[in-house]
Amino acid sequence: MKVIFTTRKHDGSRSIELGRWSRALLSLCCLGLPLGLVGGGFLLGQASATQSMRGAALDNMQDDLDQQAAELAGLKTQAESQMQALTVNLAQLQARLTRLDALGEHLTSMAGLEDGEFDFSQPPALGGPLGGDFNVEYGTSDLLDELGLFQQRLADREQQLEILGSLLANRKLDEESWLSGRPVKRGWISSYYGKRNDPFTGKPAFHSGIDFAGKEGSDILAVAAGVVTWTGKRAGYGNLVEISHADGYITRYAHNKSILVKPGDVVRKGEVIAKMGSTGRSTGAHVHYEVYKHGRSVDPASYVQRTRR
């Protein structure tokens, strides 16, 4: 094969004779170089596409991880809020239980129950045979349901205890207003209700009360709860205390050395209202005790001997 080279002015030419191997090398260069460039470009394109796909996949994975991290953070915050709410609920329930225990002890004292029968300072006695499935685990929703039921039981118990307390308070009030017992701690009956010989004239006379003799200055007690309606000196009675009670009852305590209450005072059963003396029409230290029912004088003896309801 002959290759002829010419100049630009065509004023001369030069030829080269190529052998078989030269022709093969020249053909390889002329054809292989474009093919190599095309192949290299294809491979570079493939590598770039693969790199791009890998980058997109990594970006998607990172987005998924970021989303999962945000979801986990939200769940953690929600769990912390629920635990905080449960803690507050448990604290409130504990406070309510403390109040219920205090109320139970108060009601036990009011009811006069025996010691140990209702001991609110100790947990209640529980027991029973072992069940089949004793490893019970509660989920958050189950725990919330149990707390709701517990709160309902507490509300019912509080209502029951309030009703019981009201009933016991009414019973206590009835007992306080119940006329019974003696108006003195110590003393003896020196004169009964009804006809007798007057200690000053010796003539028959009606005695409208019972006389309890005792030591001068000893305590005079209210026989029932009530309101003091009159205090002061009265002819024949000396220093007198008059108390109005429920159900139309009035009691009088006469011949007192001193008076410890005043009109308008609310007195309790057994409260000291005066000191024993011998003022007024009296021959010695004693208390003249009278009972009136709806304005009529009645024998105090039946009320002195009254027992508790």
pLDDT over 50 (residue 182):
yes
**Residue 151 resides in a domain:** yes
pLDDT for residue 181: 92
pLDDT for residue 134: 47
- Determine the Cα–Cα distance for residues 23 and 48; give it in Å rounded to an integer: 37
Q: Does 236 share its domain with 290?
A: yes
Q: Does 238 share its domain with 282?
A: yes
User: Which domain CATH number covers 228?
Assistant: 2.70.70.10
| Count of domains for the chain | 3
Q: Does 67 share its domain with 94?
A: no
**Residue 160 resides in a domain:** yes
Residue 20 tokens, joined: 């078989």
Q: Which domain holds residue 49?
A: 2-76
**Residue 203 resides in a domain:** yes
Q: What are the pLDDT digits (tens) for 207-253?
A: 999 999 999 999 999 999 999 999 999 999 999 999 999 889 999 99
β-pair type (210-213, 238-244): unpaired
Whether pTM > 0.75 for this model: the answer is: no
Of 49 and 231, the one with more pLDDT: 231
Give the Cα-Cα-Cα angle 44, 46, 49 (nearest 5 degrees). Answer: 110
Q: Does 91 share its domain with 66?
A: no
Do 274 and 261 form a contact (C-beta atoms < 8 A)? yes
Q: Does 240 share its domain with 161?
A: no
What DSSP designation does 268 have?
Answer: -
**Residue 214 resides in a domain:** yes
Do 193 and 300 form a contact (C-beta atoms < 8 A)? yes
Residue 144 tokens, joined: 């919330």
- Determine the Cα–Cα distance for residues 201 and 189; give it in Å rounded to an integer: 21
